[in-house]
Every structure is written in structure tokens, then in C-alpha cells.
Structure 1
């Protein structure tokens, strides 16, 4: 752990100078009251310290020492969760950071301090299970998860509720998935009637949720669905071969688009952000509670949005801009909230203005999300929303949209309808409706 100094000699002391060896051993083992002691120890760097950065790693020696690779990585992951419990946020390259100029540390100390008077057993955590805390854990089962349960089988909701009761007793029953705080658990179809084998994804505790809270975010069938008759429906597990084909189609089409931009519209090419990491996409999935379809995942691995410049709108018909992942999450939450409010306002819970499976990916501009495009995660089809309540799902998939865009750019003489053109080194689909842009627009003819 390294304090970010302001010139005071006290801030040059490490964590070892702030707690005694016994407390440090408990802290680094990830056992209660480790998070509480850690937060108090970090607080001792004040005043004169702006922030804290740390890399979770076990002490040298022992079963989780640096020479024991089998147990070292799980130990590091468990220690990282201790840091997140007390308010540190993941920065990069395994480093966590905390701004001591905020009230985060005080809030976490207050929450953890309320538990410090309880008796907590000292246990030896397994690679997938941390310390066990005898506290009350609340398990949330959102409406979209309940709806998904009903789609997968009559016995699915009962199975998931049974798992929820088990998670309340043992929150780390599942295995870690993605970033810290995210887990997956499995349900065996042989245990429950009218229930396929399932993967259940859930979040537990800080930094995603409050202390002692679990939210089940997504369920996925990994085998045949139960049928009303003797026969079973086809398995819903995705075909890996088809996924590879789809990924290749999206990748090749997008690369054709970016090669054209590099040659003819460098300002538009420069406005595109680099691709996201798999970790960032998993984090977005957990935030939305929806599994991102393979086509959209392939696009985001190549381009995670655009900058807020006029050249960012590269997709027809209106020059749609690829939304940054943060904007995707914000837009999805707004649409989901609007769906709930509409049902209340109209007195009709079945009124649909936004489905949970609709994931936005393009908008009028990077900052103007009043209109845009979404992908239906259930069907793979691209849809459109506008600034009224109009929502239209078309017949194109994302790979078809990208291939059509690449075809229009590479062979403009064969294109119909909206055509590619240039204004000052940026791609503009037109002819533009605005008179000032129309005066500057030059159609691209190849």
C-alpha cells in the first residue's frame, strides 16, 4: 500500500506501521474484522494524505505465498474484495485506489463499525469461498429475472428462490465471475421438476451493492427447456460454431468500415474509441442484468463508442454514433425506468415501451440519446427508438447492418437511399437536410 503524499513525513509509513502484526495477519487473511481494521488503519494516514493506492497480495511465505501459484491467485482475489468493501475502486493493472478527500471511508467505517460488536468465527476460506459472516443477507429477485424464470419453465422460479435462500446463508456459494463482487452459481435440472439446468449470475455486497445485499441479475438455461408434453424443446445453449461465424462477420464488416474511414474520412476515424476489454463488457452485463449478444460483444471489442465530435456519426441512415459503454448503461436505465412509469401512468402493466432485452448501442450523437438504435438480445434484430414512444424492431441483425454500411462505402455507385458523403474529412450520410451542411456536402463517388 502506498499513500499519495502531500509532504508530511507521517504519510511515508506503510500499512505495517499502522496496525500490529496480529491485526495485519487477520486483515491480510481477508477475515472479519479485516475490512473494519483496514479502514481504520487507512484513516490514520490523515491528515496530509490525498489518497491511497494498493495492490492486493498475500504475505510472503505460508500456503498463499508467492511460490504457491495454485493458491496465490484465489488469495489475491479475496484480498481485493476486502479493499472494495472499504471503498477502494479498481484502477488498472491490479491496483486499487481511494480518494481520501471524499467521505467514502467514513461511510464504510460507519457501516462496518455497526457490525464490529458481533462475534465472527475465524474460518479458513476455500479458493471460491471467503470468510463466513453470521449476518442477515437480503436477496433481491428483480422483475425481469422473475419474467425470465417464467419463460424458461414452470419450476424455474421455485428453483431460483431455493438458491436465493441458500445464498442468504452463504453469499459466496457461487464461483467468482468477472470483476470482484460478481458470482455465478449452477442449478441441476435433476433436482427440480420442470426446470432446465441453469447458470445464475448474481452480485454480492460492495462495490456494486450495499453491505449484506445480493441481487440475482441474470439466469441462463444451459440445456433443453421443459415441455408440456413428453418431448423437450431444443437446447437454448448457443452454438459455438455459429457464434464464431457471427463474430467473424461483425469483425470483417467493421474493419472494412474503419479502413474506408482511414483513407477517406480521417476525422471520423479519429473520433472512434478503441475497443473495450472483456472485463468491461462483463461489468456492463452485470449492470444491465442482460447478457450481451455475441454480435454486440464483437463490435464493442473493436470499438467501445465514439468521442463527442461531429465526425463520430458513422452509421446510416442519420449518422448514428456508437455509444460509449457508460452511455449505454445510462440510456438503458432511463428506458427501463420509463417503462415502469408508463405502466403506472397508463394503468397497464403490460404496456411495452421498452423490453429488458433491448440494449441500446447507437444514438443521434454521443451525448444526444433521444433517438437511436438497439439490439434485441433475444432475437438479435436491430430496432429503433425516437423521442416519442415509437419503438420499431426491424428485420436486420447487427452484422447485416454493418455489412450493408461497408458495401455502401466501398461501392457508392450501387447504393440507394441515404448516400455517403464528405464534409471536411468526416463522413456525413446525406444529402443533409440542414442547408448549411448541404452546401458543404460532397457525395462520395468512389
Structure 2
């Protein structure tokens, strides 16, 4: 069975070969003490998959379009984003479900994994069979788990598969820019910000 570490190892290997400038932006590991401090500060026990990921990479050293759905956060920014949501939610009735089958805007058992700009990619730690799934908590709308990944391992493994074998992660396809950096975008894109895009080469290409 795949693990978070195995998925990251595959992603790192591809980045070193094809887009080393992007690979260099992966931060080093977080410390166990930092993670424990974050758990104490948020009051939420970090799931094993998130801990495993953070012990591999404590986010990025600067912003980069390195994962398809959002930019992975380091421990300090996980705390920051969690506390921001917890502070805002009471003022906007954000803990309330407003429609049958819908999600609230925020829940105290959601942990941010990555920042999408328009919202957060979160790990759902509510008890039940879907615990550990990875979905989106937008900035202005209720959270959405309709296209959730069943786990962080599944998400990162899908990223590794798309890089190594070609294909997509949901609607996002990997490309390489003129300056040899990784960029995720919709199918059929040929440029971004004036830079040419070419489909990311699968292993062996």
C-alpha cells in the first residue's frame, strides 16, 4: 500500500529530473516538537498522514505552483490559517450548515493542508468513514467535499502518477515552463503570463 513518503519520493525524483528549480523550493522537514506545539495551539491532533508529510517537507520556501490544487503549507502557516478561520467563523455563522446535505463554512476538525488562494485545501478529521478525506474550504462559500480525495496519500499518489505517467489530477494537467519550472493548469494550455508551456514529460521521455 502506498504511503505519503513514497508519494513524495516519486514527486521529488521527477522534479529533480525535469524541473529542478521547482524541486529546490520544497522546504526541509518540520520537527516533531514544532508539530506537537501546533497540536497544542490548535487543540487538534494532527493525523498521521499530515505528520508524515510535514516530516518530509514543511511546506515550500516560497510560493510555487508545485501541487495541482493548492500550495502546501508549513506548520506555522497551518496554525495561522486554522486560527484565522476559527476567529472568523463565529462572526459569519460559519459553523452552521445552511442547506440539507451541505457543509458549513468551517469546522473545528478541519486542518488546512494547502492554500489555494481562494480557499484552503483541508483534511477532514470528523469521526466517521470519511475521516481523513481532503477537500476544499473556499473563502466565501461553504466547504466542498464533492470531489474530495479519500486521503492525503491518495492525493499525493495521484500527483506522482500524473507526473510519472502523464495524465491529470482531477482537471489539472502538469506543464513545464520556459524556465524549467512545474506549472499545473487546465487541458490545452500553451502559455501562462507570456511564458510558453509544454506538457510535462512522463518518465523516460
Q: Unaligned regions of 5+ residues in structure 2, if any?
A: 98-103
> 2:71 corresponds to which residue?
321
The answer for the alignment partner of 1:441 in structure 2 is 197
Relative to structure 1, the CA distance from residue 333 to residue 255 in structure 2 (aligned partners, 3 Å threshold; closer, same or farther) is: same
Say if 2:87 is the partner of 1:332: no
The CA distance in 1 between the partners of 2:136 and 2:44, in whole Å, is 19
Does residue 120 of structure 2 align to residue 372 of structure 1? yes
Q: Deviations over 1:163-200 (max 9, x none)?
A: xxxxxxxxxxxxxxxxxxxxxxxxxxxxxxxxxxxxxx
* Post-superposition offset of 1:434: 9.7
CA distance in structure 1 between the aligned counterparts of 2:114 and 2:168, rounded to whole angstroms: 25
Q: CA RMSD in A?
A: 2.4
Question: Greater Rg, structure 1 or structure 2?
Answer: 1
1:295 aligns with 2:43: no
Q: Find the counterpart in structure 2 of residue 389 from structure 1.
A: 141
Contact 2:86–2:108 under 8 Å retained in 1: yes
Measured after TM superposition, the shift of residue 418 of structure 1 is 2.1
Q: Is the contact made by 2:54 and 2:74 (CA closer than 8 Å) also made in structure 1?
A: no
Question: How far apart, CA to CA, are the structure 1 residues paired with 2:169 and 2:161?
Answer: 8
Alignment of 1:356-435 (within 5 A): 356-364=108-116, 368=117, 370-378=118-126, 379-393=131-145, 394-412=148-166, 417-423=171-177, 424-431=179-186
Q: 1:307 aligns with which of 61, 76, 85?
A: 61
Give the 3 Å change call, closer, same or farther, for CA 398–413 of structure 1 in structure 2: closer
Question: How many angstroms does 1:334 deviate by?
Answer: 0.8
Judged with a 3 Å threshold, the aligned counterparts in structure 2 of structure 1 residues 362 and 413 are, in CA distance, closer, same or farther, namely closer
Q: Secondary structure at the match of 1:308?
A: coil
Deviations 1:206-242 (A, max 9, x none): xxxxxxxxxxxxxxxxxxxxxxxxxxxxxxxxxxxxx
Question: In structure 2, do the counterparts of structure 1 residues 327 and 263 end up closer, same or farther at CA, with 3 Å as the change threshold?
Answer: same
What stretches of structure 1 of length at least 5 have no aligned partner?
1-244
In the alignment, is the contact (CA less than 8 A) between 2:96 and 2:105 conserved in 1? no
Task: Report deviation, 1:387.
Answer: 2.7
**Partner secondary structure for residue 409 of structure 1:** helix
TM-fit CA distance, 1:308? 2.1
Q: Distance in 2 between matches of 1:445 and 1:355?
A: 39
1:276 maps to 2:26: no
Q: How far, CA to CA, are the matches of 1:416 and 1:375 in structure 2? A: 17
**Conserved? CA contact 2:190–2:196, under 8 Å:** no
For residues 334 and 434 of structure 1, what CA distance do their matches in structure 2 show? 37
CA offsets per residue over residues 257-280 of structure 1, 9 Å max, x none?
Answer: 011111111111111100111111
Partner of 2:101: none
Higher relative contact order (CA 8 A, sep 6+): 2
Q: Aligned-pair distance for 1:430?
A: 2.0
Classify the secondary structure of the residue corresponding to 1:313.
Answer: coil
- Alpha-carbon spacing, 1:325–1:262, altered in 2? closer, same or farther (3 Å): same
Quick one: distance in 2 between partners of 1:321 and 1:443?
20
Q: For each residue in 1:276-301, what CA deviation from the matched residue of structure 2 results, as whole angstroms up to 9, or x when unmatched?
A: 11111111111110000111111001
Hey, what's the Cα distance between the residues in 1 that align with 2:181 and 2:87? 36
The TM-score, its normalising length taken from structure 2, stands at: 0.82
- Structure 1 counterpart SS, 2:155: helix
More helix by share: 1
- Residue 342 of structure 1 is aligned with which of 92, 95, 104? 92
Offset of residue 431 of structure 1: 4.2
